Structures are given as C-alpha cells and as structure tokens.
Structure 1
C-alpha cells in the first residue's frame, strides 16, 4: 500500500485527481478502486463520492440495504481485530439524492490537467441545501475549543448558513455520554476519544467520526508550588498524586510517556486521578494533588494564583501533537451530509483564522466571556500568544504554546492506538492500527474542504512524528511499541 511519496513525484503528475488517488489508503481507498474501475479518473471520482456520502459502507447500504452494509463492514474489518458497532440509522432516499447530485457535478469535471480542474463539490454549499440550520454543539470551556467557540461571536457559523447554540459541559464523561445518546448535533472531544468510543473502550461501541483537529499543543504539566525545589525531571514525580482530565486523553498518554522515561510506571509509582479541570486548581491549593496535566487556561491560572509552576509544556514532549477535535456521529452525518460539510468547513475556516498570530488577542477577547471560557482575557492572551510567566520567575515566549491546525494526520491515530496497547487500555496483540484510523479519521474530506477555502493542506495522510524521546514511524507502529517496552521495561 502506498503511504509515503516524494513531493516531486506527486506534484509531477498532470491530473490532480490522479495525484489524490495515489494518496488514498485503507478500506475506503480499496473500495474506491474496486468500484471505480481501471481508470484513475474514475477511481478518484468514486473516492470523492464515497467520502461525501459518508463512506463506502453507506454506498453499500444504499445499493443493498443495511444488512449488506453490515456484512461488507464485517468482512473488511475481520482481520483488524476491531468489533463492528451496530448499524446506525440510514436514510436511503437522502443518500441516493446526495450521491446522484455529486455524480452530476462530477460529470462536469475532467482530468485534462490542473488548469481545467473543478472540485467535485461546490466550494460553497447553498444554504437552501442544508438539511438542518439550527445546531447544538457540545464544548468544554478550555482554549482547545477555540475554533468551535470563536466561530460563534466572530461569525463563522453564520457565514455558512448555520445558527449554533454552544452547550457548555463540565467533563469529558458528560460529552461522551451525550454523544452516545445522540443528544446534540456535534461535539468537541479529546482526539483519542473517537478512537476509544469506536473501539468500545470505556463505553459501548459508538460510530464517532473525527472530522478535523481543533488544536495542537496547548497543555502543560503543572506542579504544586511546594515542590518547586525538588521537581526537575520525570523521576522526581515518584509517589505523586497527579490529576488527568480523562483516561482516553492525550494528557494521560503523554504523561505516561514522560514518566516512563524517568523509570516510573504510571500505574505503580504514581497515583493518577481523573478530575474536571476546575477541581485541579483546588487540589493544588489544598494539597490533595501534587501535579496536574491539563488544558489551558488552568495551568496559567495556577501560576497567576501562586499555587503552581509550569514544569513542562506538552509542546516540548511532542511538537504539533493533536489535543482536541471536532466530531460527529456517523448516523448524524448520514442524515445531514450537506449540513455536516458546512459545519466542518466553518470549523476548519475558524481554525485557520486562529492559526494567524495577529488574530490571537482579538480571539482572547471573543472567547473570554462567561458563556464561553469565563476567564480573564489577559490570561487567555498569555496562552494564545505564548508570552507568559511560568511560575519559576521566567518570562517565556513560545508562540506555538497552543496552535490551530485542522488537518487530521492519520499518524496521530497510529501513535494513540500504540499507546492504548502499551498501557493495557487495548488488549489485542494483532491490532491493525491502519483500520481504525481509516474508520475514524476523515482526513480526505478535511483536505478537500481546506482546499476549497484556499488553503494548502498536506497531500499525505501519514508523516513521521518527532517526539522528545524518539521518532515515531507510522509505517512500523508495532515495532515502535516493542522498542518502547524493551527500552523502558514497560
């Protein structure tokens, strides 16, 4: 299967559709090739149609019914060690209408070269085609949710014909349970959550799609001020009680990664407790926890309140790591394909706006109010601009302390699932990392929408990930996992 390609080879091809074809992989790509025939042009047309219609499994459902969809799904995942989740509600009439519309538009395209290329779908979805315009989206009041939050006061939802009510939630458990129950339309989630939910880890299996990444970086390990003279590295956390926001979080996985380097087993040598972020500040203050790894603005608030110091930014452990994501259920996407594309486009547009450093102060003001993050705008400015005090008497300037890149690299998924295995959250020795990444991460659609916005998203789905203590090669995830275990003994 094709994964890594030289940029010159890909860009040297005359047909953008054929360029795209080379970059497809996994179950969706295989079905696209089967259904599309021998022609590269036909194959990529099929791939675009499959993506727009919610995936290849929905094509099978439209043609043969839900039982055939489930059978095809089970067959394709049989070797992956992944249990299929129950078939979601599927509106065949809406799907066929959407598929036929896509085919009509695509017929107007051709493969005669980049100069004549037309996108398979319009860059602007007419509001008259939206299945639903009044939406409810869950979020937690943290800076990781910036694209979802700022899209309301700064007009990004309105730009795409949407009226959005943001529903503030108190914990990731509440978000997860609301998504399983289908209470809202879309959800702010930690990037490992859709993977865990799709695998049935910690909950019933639920078909949740990761549509785009909300933020990269943006967290820190903060230690209680009373440990200021003793904590210098990971080995110094032995015996500590450390708060994390959720088991299936990048916070938990990166903390475990860091502690292991210091020779500490995170389930034996420290005590990890799950707490909502506001309670972490109280814990640092009253001594019930020694440290926390959490999103902003809580680390900066600990510094401002004199109860903690920033020991390490997660950006220092893995530059560019994913934190939070924009998600929706497969069943909701099936019922609202045009609305979903418009909503995801608004989030990607918002994230790209937030990525520009000169917008950060404006954004801090926009998201600070009580109905959103409810924080001092100056605190949010310190986080968003990366110009901050660390609680150790240093003024630091790290512009990408938090950043916003909506592209969902599938190598993110591969690393996350290797760590699920490493720490016993996923007990499957023959787990196929590629299969779950293909099932959950909507990388192709995110690329397509970004292009329509005039952005230049990556053309690959995988990349090397350079962490503080070694490079992760997503083409060899199991080898990476075994090397970690061999080196650190767990």
Structure 2
C-alpha cells in the first residue's frame, strides 16, 4: 500500500479529536494519541486495524465490498449455470437484474414477497408466462444452492427471511466479549446466515455514542448500560434492549504492588484512586458494594474514575490509579507485567454475577426482527460453546490476535481456563473464574437498579423494578432461542441472588437497599 494512498485515506476518511498546538499544527488529544500509540506502525497492518475499528467511512468499504463480492458471486453462479443450462441463463440474469443484485435475488426468491418478485420479473422481462414458469424453479434452485452453500443446517427459507445479513457489531477488547468476538473467527455468525464484522471500540462512551448515532447494528455493552441509556442516565434517553448476557464472573480487584503488605480488606482502600471501566458498569457497582462493607463511603472516602480498559494497566503502572476493578484480561495482564496483584476475583463477591451483554436498539430490532433473532441466536450458541471448559484453549487462541484482544495468548488462556497466578506467589485453578451463561435473569436487572438507586444514579421514584426488567431484559426471547438450539434454559425469570455479604430478594428491592444502609452505614 503506497504512502500516497494512506495520506489520502487519513485526510479524507478519518476524523480525530484534534487540538491546536503551540507549534501551529494540530495533534490528536491525549486519549486518542495514547490509544493510537498502541496501533501497528506497518501501514498495511494499520489500515487493517482502522477498517476493523470502523474508521473508514462505511460507504467506501461497502462500495469496495459490493464490487468485488457481487461480481465474484455472479460470475460464479452464472458461469456454473450457463455451463449446465445455457438456455436458462437469461432468466437467472433477469431475476438478478430485477432484484438489484444476486444477494437481493436470493432474499427475494425465498422471502415473503417472493410471488411479487416473480410476477415483476415476468411482467418486465422478455419472457412469456409459460416460459417463465417452466424455468423459474430451476433458477431458484441455483440461487438457493448458493445461499446455503457451506451451511447445510440452514434452510433457504430461513436465509430469505433475514432483513439484512451484513452487520457491524462493536466490542471492547476484553474477555467479557468472548462470544461476540469468537463468533467471527469460529464462524458462529456464518453458521446462522450472517456476515458480521466485529468493530473494535476504544471506550464504553464510544460504544454508547455510536449506538445512539446508529453507527452500529448491535453492540457489546456492560449489563447496566441498556438500563442507563434507556432511562437517560448520563446520556440522551435512547431505548436499548439487553438481548443476552455475554459472560458471568470474569472481573477482579487488582491493586498496585506497592500495597502488597498493607492491603487486607475493604477498609484499607481509604484514600485510593480506583479505576472502573464506566460509571454504569457492574465494576462500579461491585466496587461500591465491597467498599461499603468496610465502612467506606465510595463518594467521599475514595476517588472512582472511569478508565478505558486498554489503558488500565498503564495507568496502574505510572500511579494514576492505586487499584482497579476491571474486566479481564487486564487484571491478569497487570500480574503478567509485574505491576499489580489480584486482591479478589469478582466471582468471590457474587458468584454468577452478570458483567457484559449483547444489546441492540429498539428501533433496529423493529426494523430487522428476523436478523435480530439470528444474531442473538448466534451469540447464545457461541456462549454455550464457550461455557465448555474443553473449548477454552481454542477460544483463547482465536481471540488473542491483534485484531481482537491484542494480548499474549498465555494471558488470555489464564483467564479463560482459570489456571492463573495472582501476583502474590499463589497459583489457582478456578475453572469458572469467567463463565458464559447467556440467560438474562430479571433479578440481575433488579439488583442493578437497586444499586443505581442506592448510589444516587437513579431517583428512587423512577425505580420501577418490574417494568425496567421486563422492558429492557429480553429474557423470554433468550429462553426461546436457547430452546431452539437444543439447550435447556431456566423457566423462571427471577431468583434469589447470593452475594458475599448478603442475599438479594428481588421481591423487595427497596427493603434490600435499606438493610444495606442500616448494616454498613452507607
């Protein structure tokens, strides 16, 4: 790739947050410059990463993709068809022309408007009705063969019902996103008839803003985010649905090495600066829950700062933060780099707690109901695969490369297999340090909402627990899709949640909050 092309691409297609410098030029802001400092220096590799991250304008990539993919597919199909049935090739060409392309012809031939499509082809093309009817089934068979080639488990009817098949799903490079990420290299999306590009995002704020702007089809989100965004907490109110849970457990409280001999429990965090990935995250709610049990007020006795996960180890290294409750693999990466130790894995705070989720906007779901079911089904299918211990090493290898997590495979494997060192000289074997259970329990939504109320993120008057859970967590749909995959999901929607210091009864969240305040004074 020539430097001239790179310069044109960067100038015309890429917009950074720029600030004027004393030198008279413009430079990237600190956050962006730090982020791009970790990007590859080789132009070809850099372009590949920028494409993955969605930096190049979608219409440019779409045009390039359409030219090559459509031409190749049509050449392939028409060449095969003309070789076997030269007299019937014109009807296939006419069908493709009427539909606006081969992809559209596949959908039209088997979708709900199939009869209208055939009628329009007949009316507009130079074919008699009899000639058309005698040849259409042969042409449709070829289209159907192409649509399902490589996916024998998919019917042409299922393929044809999808509103769109080319999707962009944003993700943060953490192990919590395992089902979303691995579904691309391990072909779970392809299995369900989808062509998905997973797009690496720099921060949760970027995910939120891209969701609201409609720049992505679906997203990897922290499980409290669909609640906060739908309710307009910290952003414009925008209806988001939590479709399935990405991971349970999978976080840790990591502390800088200089506190190895002094930090024993929650009270010892007083005066610390603590990093969490986002204000509306399980990480923020869990660290607050833990600190309060030591008598600390998280609003006054410590400073809790949002830190993009990819920046967390560097911030811990230079002393910008003293500790963090972060998603992996960054806790394990801190141990790997010799700059921090694991004080506690989040499984100890709440076994089976939710962390991240797969989500989509209500407007996108309404416009693409069948596609939404297909992509959610692919995620649930992938999560089930990831839940099996024997698959974890394979998954670690698949998601570690630069275009995904960009982490040493041994660090990712330590998290996924649960065989890890804690930085204090101890070695552990905890297979469910991180686990994958896509079922979105309504009780998760209730607990999250209770803590948003407890810490003044959400007015108590606005905490309609049942409505929030039912409107935002798509529990019934997740159950239905899991059953279609042959899984045996729970039939209940609520359960009692057992945490380290108490038990949460979803039938009375207000009483739970009051009991917490009375017991710990915060």
Class of the TM-score when normalised by the shorter of the 2 chains: 0.7 to 0.9
Matches within 5 A, 1:55-454: 126-429=158-461, 431-454=463-486
Q: Secondary structure at the match of 1:149?
A: helix
Deviation at 1:429, TM superposition (A): 3.6
Q: What's the CA shift string for 1:405-440, capped at 9, x where partnerless?
A: 000000000000000000000013462111111110
Structure 1 CA distance, aligned partners of 2:329 and 2:248?
Answer: 15
- SS of 1:126's partner is helix
The CA deviation at 1:488 is 1.3
Secondary structure, aligned partner of 1:289: coil
TM-fit CA distance, 1:476 = 1.0
**Counterparts of 1:265 and 1:428, CA distance in 2:** 19
The alignment's TM-score, normalised by the length of structure 1, stands at 0.74
Report the secondary structure of 1:187's partner residue.
strand
Contact 1:123 1:453 in 2 (8 A): no
CA distance in 1, matches of 2:443, 2:278: 22
* Aligned-partner SS, 1:412: helix
Question: Matches of 2:209 and 2:385 in 1, distance apart?
Answer: 31
Q: Is contact 2:173–2:310 with CA below 8 Å preserved after alignment?
A: no
Larger Rg: 2
> Displacement of 1:275 after TM fit?
1.0
Separation of aligned partners in 1, 2:484 and 2:498: 30
Give the Cα–Cα distance (whole angstroms) in 1 for the partners of residues 475 and 457 of structure 2: 25
Work out whether residues 123 and 452 of structure 1, in 8 Å CA contact, stay in contact via their aligned partners in 2. Answer: no
Structure with greater helix share of residues: 2
Q: Secondary structure at the match of 1:399?
A: coil
Contiguous gaps of at least 5 residues in structure 2: 1-110, 113-152
Runs of 4+ in 1 over 6 A off after TM superposition: 122-125
| CA shift for structure 1 position 280 | 1.7
Is residue 512 of structure 2 the alignment partner of residue 488 of structure 1? no
Q: What is the DSSP-based 3-state SS (H/G/I as helix, E as strand, rest coil) of the residue aligned with 1:326? A: strand
- Judged with a 3 Å threshold, the aligned counterparts in structure 2 of structure 1 residues 123 and 488 are, in CA distance, closer, same or farther, namely farther
State the shift of 1:123 in Å. 9.7
Unaligned 5+ segments in structure 1 are 1-96, 99-121
> How many positions carry a matched residue from both structures?
371
| Cα distance in 1 between the residues matched to 2:196 and 2:209 | 20
Say if 1:244 and 1:273, in contact at 8 Å, map to a contact too: yes
Residue 460 of structure 2 aligns to a residue whose secondary structure is coil
Find the aligned partners of 1:431 and 1:216 in 2 and give their Cα distance: 24
* RMSD between aligned residues: 1.4
What residue is the counterpart of 1:69 in the other structure? none
Partner of 2:104: none
Contact 1:223/1:311 (<8 A) preserved: yes
Q: Distance in 2 between matches of 1:427 and 1:404?
A: 32
In the aligned structure 2, how far is the partner of 1:123 from the partner of 1:417? 39
Structure number with greater CO (CA < 8 Å, separation at least 6) is 1
User: What are the Cα deviations for residues 136-175 of structure 1, in whole angstroms up to 9, with x where unaligned?
Assistant: 0000000000000000011100011100011100100000
TM-score of the aligned structures, taking structure 2 as reference length: 0.70
Deviation of residue 379 (structure 1)?
0.8
CA distance in 1, matches of 2:231, 2:174: 26
